[in-house]
Amino acid sequence: MSYITKSPWIIHYDGSSCNGCDIEVLACLTPLYDLERFGIVNTGNPKHADVFLVTGGINAQSEAVVKNTYEQMPDPKVVVAVGICACTGGVFRECYNIIGGVDKVIPVDVYVPGCAARPESIIDGVVRALGILEEKRAKMAEKGGK
Amino acid sequence: MSNRIVVPFGPQHPVLPEPIHLDLVLEDERVVEAIPTIGYVHRGLEKLVEKRDYKDYVLIAERICGICSFTHSVTYCNAIEHIMGVEVPPRAQFIRTIWMEYSRMHSHLLWLGLAADAMGFENLFMNAWRLREEILDDMEATTGGRVIQGTCKVGGIRRDIGDDKLGEMVDHLKKIRPLLEESNRIFTHDQTVRHRMRGLSVLSEKDAWDLGAVGPVARGSGCDMDVRSSGYSAYGELGFKPVTFSHGDCLDRCLVRSEEVLASVDLVERAVAKMPDGPIEEKVTGNPEGECFAFSEQPRGECLHYVRANGKKNIVRHRVRTPTFTNVPPLVKLLEGIELADVPVVVLTIDPCIGCCDR
Amino acid sequence: MIEQKHTIIEIEVADLLKKTEEYHKAGHRLVQIGTTPLGDRYEINYTFTTAWDFESLRITVHDGDELPSISGIYWGAFIYENEINDLFGIPVNGMNIDFKGHLIETRIPTPFKNPPKITKVPKGGDA
């Protein structure tokens, strides 16, 4: 597990989810699943964060907030779309206020399906995201070195 | 000296798992006025009735909110069943009631944890969520889903709970009851909790009633208002008594919820003891025609589903008035006159469920 | 199994404030205001209660009509009235807190507004 060289911090934003995935993201951080044992901390500040978890599809009002939060995060950064709504819009894809999945607004690295996504699959998604984060970091170091 | 400044609170804020925005007008440290903006989670799902038929729509109604999910689907089904004159078998009513009470327990424990987190009591937060997982285990074992169940359908329920399993559930609840009582004792007696919450933003009984507060917010102020008293589903046969407190401050709104967890444990035990035998669903054919206002008591308060149908497969209108939506005006009043540092705690005491509120 | 009684009383828009005032004096609380778009008209239900016997005042309005605000009587009514304004495009006059269409922001304005009447397209045209 060489990629855990720095404790990755995550930031979570609810695009337009029904709460189901939100509370499962929070459940990941509590005693039964305990993501914090990997050094993962849930932060409220985008400038501290490496991993961006978005739950729910993107709607008219959350579009700007998601973009803004993403831009505030320092490079390298990864985005995890949690739940089927965040992947494609899910059952709400036909609602008038839904633009679609998170990838309509910002680039997404890992898609976690499920309604609601289970804590196990969220953890799996975050761990995969960490692998991608490490690759991105290596690429950045390469570019910086030349 | 009056130096007014406006501080934006949210939508992305560390204590809020969900987005709500408040413009707080401050005079030094005191909040003079709070103006809420909602709609960050607005999907417009009420309009989906045009695209889904009334039976499929149960699954959409369930996804209004991932915490009160099961109660939403039951309320919607109650409305449709009332219009169509469907008699739901008693066993289905009892099992629905059990699952509704499990939703309430997991929702209240979730909230108690978040409240503890908002006042900086990390240990209590983790403890409440640990207990919540115990509740979710039984929920998952019986429905297959942790937060979204999908087991309610028009005319009954999709799966039965065997009598052995019902017995196991009661045993499990008996085991965790002392842990819940211990957690309640902390909320009632701990110095940190009392210091942060006692006497903070008091809502009088008259104000609560006039502003239309519902659920634990109203009951914390002494209003005896709980739709379960009206005896929908199986509540009429279980001898239900609402939990009320009288101070109307943050601590009492908190204690209402912690006491209700224990009340729910009792209700589940009584429901299992009285569980009737029989089928779990009534076959439903045809389409609904008519209208119905169905009320239910969600973890956050009184919820209304209004259904209007005209005899076609797709109903004409589904309107949901969720408890959080109607608790916004009381919240605006509660925030007036408190200190900025207390805002997160006060916002949390109405248990804002933005998924419900915005729909 | 619905155990709550619900009475619907149809009234004129002009009587709304007077009737609401009566409910307020009798100690009812405002349960909700809900709108139903019905193609050519809207029904608006104002629900009041003291216990579990609900009563709804029902008014019927059309596109272009305006509503008086009851927020002078029930302070908390602004949330429902702003919702009516934002989602249905029915203006409400005299709200105590007026969000001016920004309580719920939507991608398309007033999504629940009745669709405009389809005027018949003459035959033989380009379309």
User: For residue C127, is it within any domain?
Assistant: no
User: For residue C120, is it within any domain?
Assistant: no
Nearest beta carbon to residue B13 from set A19, A44, A94: A44
User: For residue C66, is it within any domain?
Assistant: yes
User: For residue B207, is it within any domain?
Assistant: yes
DSSP character string of B302-353:
EEEEEEEEESSSS-SEEEEE-HHHHTHHHHHHHHTT-BGGGHHHHHHHT---
Cβ-defined contact of C36 to B330 (cutoff 8 Å): no
Indicate whether C102 pLDDT > 80: no
Cβ pairs bridging A and B (under 8 Å): 124
Indicate whether A128 pLDDT > 50: yes
Reduced 3-state DSSP string for chain A: CCCCCCCCEEEEEECCCCCHHHHHHHHHCCCCCCHHHHCCEECCCHHHCCEEEEECCEECCHHHHHHHHHHHCCCCCEEEEECHHHHHCHHHCCCCCEEECHHHCCCCCEEECCCCCCHHHHHHHHHHHHHHHHHHHHHHHHHHHC
Phi, psi of B257, rounded to the nearest 5 degrees: -70, -40
* Helix (H/G/I), strand (E/B), else coil: C25: helix
Residue B91 near residue B275 (C-beta atoms within 8 A): yes
Reduced 3-state DSSP string for A4-43: CCCCCEEEEEECCCCCHHHHHHHHHCCCCCCHHHHCCEEC
pLDDT of residue A117: 86
Q: How far is CA A16 from the centre of its chain?
A: 14
Predicted-complex ipTM score: 0.80
Cβ-defined contact of A61 to C111 (cutoff 8 Å): no
Query: pLDDT confidence of C124, banded at 50, 70, 90?
Result: low
Distance CA C17, CA A60 (A): 35
pLDDT of residue C127: 46
Tens of pLDDT, residue by residue over B252-267, are 888 888 889 998 998 8
Distance CA B30, CA A56 (A): 35
Residue B42 near residue C108 (C-beta atoms within 8 A): no
- Partners of A61 on chain C (C-beta within 8 Å) are 105
User: For residue C106, is it within any domain?
Assistant: no
Q: How many domains does chain B have?
A: 1
Tens of pLDDT, residue by residue over B96-148, are 899 999 989 988 998 888 888 888 788 888 888 888 888 888 888 888 888 88
Q: Residue range B307-332: average pLDDT?
A: 86
Residue B315 near residue B294 (C-beta atoms within 8 A): no
Distance from the Cα of A114 to chain B's closest Cα (Å) equals 10
User: For residue B269, is it within any domain?
Assistant: yes
- Burial tier of B2 (Cβ tally within 10 Å: 0-12, 13-18, 19+): exposed
Considering only alpha carbons, which residue of chain B is nearest residue C6?
B293
Residue A26 near residue A62 (C-beta atoms within 8 A): no
- Partners of A89 on chain C (C-beta within 8 Å) are none
Nearest to B226 by CA among B246, B205, B241, B209: B241
Distance CA B327, CA B335 (A): 12
Determine what percent of chain B is predicted with pLDDT higher than 70: 98
Distance from the Cα of A59 to chain C's closest Cα (Å) equals 8
Spell out a b/e string for A38-75, using b for 16 or more CB atoms within 10 Å of the CB, else e: eebebbeebeebbbbbbbbbbbbbbbebbeebbeebee
* Helix (H/G/I), strand (E/B), else coil: C113: coil
pLDDT of residue A1: 47
**Whole-number mean pLDDT of chain B?**
85
Cβ-defined contact of B319 to C35 (cutoff 8 Å): yes
**What is the domain extent for residue B303?**
42-325
Tens of pLDDT, residue by residue over C37-54, are 887 888 888 888 887 788
* CB interface of A with B, residues 49-68, below 8 Å: 56-57, 59-62, 65
Find the range with the poorest average confidence among A99-108, B4-13, B322-331.
Answer: B4-13
- Greatest Cα-to-Cα distance within chain C, rounded to the nearest angstrom: 63
Residue B349 near residue B48 (C-beta atoms within 8 A): no
- Partners of C111 on chain A (C-beta within 8 Å) are 96-97
Nearest to B340 by CA among B120, B25, B19: B25
- Greatest Cα-to-Cα distance within chain A, rounded to the nearest angstrom: 49
The CATH classification number of A9-145 equals: 3.40.50.12280
Cα dist from B219 to A113, B79, B253, B305, B329, whole Å: 39, 26, 7, 22, 16
pLDDT of residue A79: 92
Distance CA B217, CA B244 (A): 10
The set of residues, in sequence order, having a beta carbon less than 8 Å from that of B237 and lying 6+ positions away, is B231, B274
User: For residue B331, is it within any domain?
Assistant: no
- Better pLDDT: B243 or C106: B243
**What is the domain extent for residue C39?**
5-93
- Partners of B317 on chain C (C-beta within 8 Å) are 36-38
Indicate whether C126 pLDDT > 60: no
Q: Which chains touch A (3+ CB pairs under 8 A)?
A: B, C
Determine what percent of chain B is predicted with pLDDT higher than 90: 0
User: For residue C13, is it within any domain?
Assistant: yes
Indicate whether B53 pLDDT > 50: yes
Cβ-defined contact of A31 to B129 (cutoff 8 Å): yes
Tens of pLDDT, residue by residue over B311-320, are 888 888 888 8
Q: What angle do CA B347, B350, B356 make, to 5 degrees?
A: 105
**Whole-number mean pLDDT of chain A?**
83
Q: Residue range B81-89: average pLDDT?
A: 86
Q: How many domains does chain C have?
A: 1
Q: How far is CA B221 from the centre of its chain?
A: 17
Domain residue ranges of chain A, discontinuous segments joined by +: 9-145
The CATH number of residue B104's host domain is 1.10.645.10
Tens of pLDDT, residue by residue over A16-49, are 888 888 888 888 888 888 877 777 877 878 888 8
Q: Residue range A53-78: average pLDDT?
A: 85
User: For residue C48, is it within any domain?
Assistant: yes
User: For residue B25, is it within any domain?
Assistant: no
Find the range with the poorest average confidence among A94-108, B12-26, B73-87, C88-102.
Answer: B12-26
Cβ-defined contact of C102 to B306 (cutoff 8 Å): no
Indicate whether A66 pLDDT > 60: yes
Q: Residue range A110-138: average pLDDT?
A: 87
Cα dist from C5 to B188, B299, C102, whole Å: 38, 22, 35
Distance CA B233, CA B81 (A): 12
The CATH number of residue C86's host domain is 3.30.460.80
Distance CA B184, CA B164 (A): 30
